[in-house]
Structure 1
Amino acid sequence: MAGKTTASRILDTMKIPYTLHEYEWDEDDLAASTVADKVGLPVDRLFKTLVLKGDKTGFVLACVPGDKELDLKALAAASRNKSVEMVPVKDLQSVTGYIRGGVSPLGTKKKFPLFIDESIRGLDPVSISAGRRGTQIFVNGDRLAEACEATVCAISK
């Protein structure tokens, strides 16, 4: 299972330091709190990547801390949509190239607008999916936002 992922190769290319952390995953428990425990980080430092579709702009990605929920209204406003809705799990792979529990904000099949909750500012490290279940990337939060060309704003509650 060890080895580079598309997401880690992107960080390599950009010369952004990171570390890969592997853990045993369970199909029935992909919760952020479980993953945070397994990689030894507080859950508010584990950022989950959510895939949504806006009524005007199409697909957007959102990263929020594992202990928070996405504020759909805030994301809609930030992404210039009237509304956004979660993409069904069955459509994740065809849209992003990733499966549930392994969606990374880096290396999606197509580049989508990414919105990261402002709580990421100044955090080092934060954890994101490396693009496969069982592997997390630890990286500086500000550098991650830069690498993803993300809009950093208040989108969690």
Structure 2
Amino acid sequence: MGKQVKTNAMRLLDANKVSYEAFHYYGNEENTDGTLVARMNQRDVKLVHKTLVAKSAKNELYVFIIPITRELDLKKAALATGEKKIEMLPHKDLQKYTGYLKGGCSPLGMKKLFPTFLEQSSSEQNKVIVSGGKKGHIIELDIADLLRVVNGQPAHLVKEA
């Protein structure tokens, strides 16, 4: 039996005594998306969320957690943050600010705690699945615990379907 990998995201949850379930999946960025990850782990795709990082004109960073099947609406995201305008953080800057690489960015355990927002419609569910902080790792936990640990808040963030 292989050694259980502990990521910064998992260590943060452990330190906060948060119950979670960690899953591992195999694949690479070219052939693995959130829908496939959900199926591989027998999880409801509605629970799987992606973590996006955006910045304001003043270079303030914000974290957005939205369902993998939806697209971030930058105008709604800016409204939630109180900024006039925000734009996505370039992938090349992701590791520098968060400690995470594209495809493994978790809202948990970033280098710094940034203002964090969860798509409002997601808070109707009890659970959420987010990146475990490393490619190939995901974490399922209660939404209330996620919001508490990242000091997050719900907001309307996604484009209309």
TM-score band w.r.t. shorter chain: over 0.9
Taking only the aligned residue pairs, the percentage that are identical comes to 36
CA distance, structure 2, for counterparts of residue 27 and residue 54 of structure 1: 27
Q: Report the alpha carbon displacement of residue 55 of structure 1 after superposing the two structures with TM.
A: 1.9
Aligned match of 1:39: 41
Aligned match of 2:116: 114
Q: Report the alpha carbon displacement of residue 16 of structure 1 after superposing the two structures with TM.
A: 1.3
Query: Which TM-score applies when normalising by structure 1?
Result: 0.92
Alignment deviations for residues 54-86 of structure 1 (CA, whole Å, 9 cap, x no partner): 124611110001111111111101101111111
Aligned match of 2:101: 99
CA distance, structure 1, for counterparts of residue 56 and residue 28 of structure 2: 31
Query: Which TM-score applies when normalising by structure 2?
Result: 0.90
Matched, 1:90 2:106: no
Q: Secondary structure at the match of 2:112?
A: coil
Aligned match of 1:51: 53
Aligned match of 1:145: 147
Q: What residue ranges of structure 2 are gaps of 5+ in the alignment?
A: none
Q: What residue ranges of structure 1 are gaps of 5+ in the alignment?
A: none
CA distance, structure 1, for counterparts of residue 98 and residue 116 of structure 2: 12
Over aligned residue pairs, what C-alpha RMSD do you find?
Answer: 1.5
Letter in 2 for 1:125: K
CA contact under 8 A between 1:20 and 1:130: conserved in structure 2? yes
CA contact under 8 A between 2:113 and 2:150: conserved in structure 1? no
Aligned match of 1:70: 72
CA distance, structure 1, for counterparts of residue 152 and residue 86 of structure 2: 17
CA distance, structure 2, for counterparts of residue 137 and residue 3 of structure 1: 12
**Number of residues paired by the alignment?**
157
Aligned match of 2:17: 15
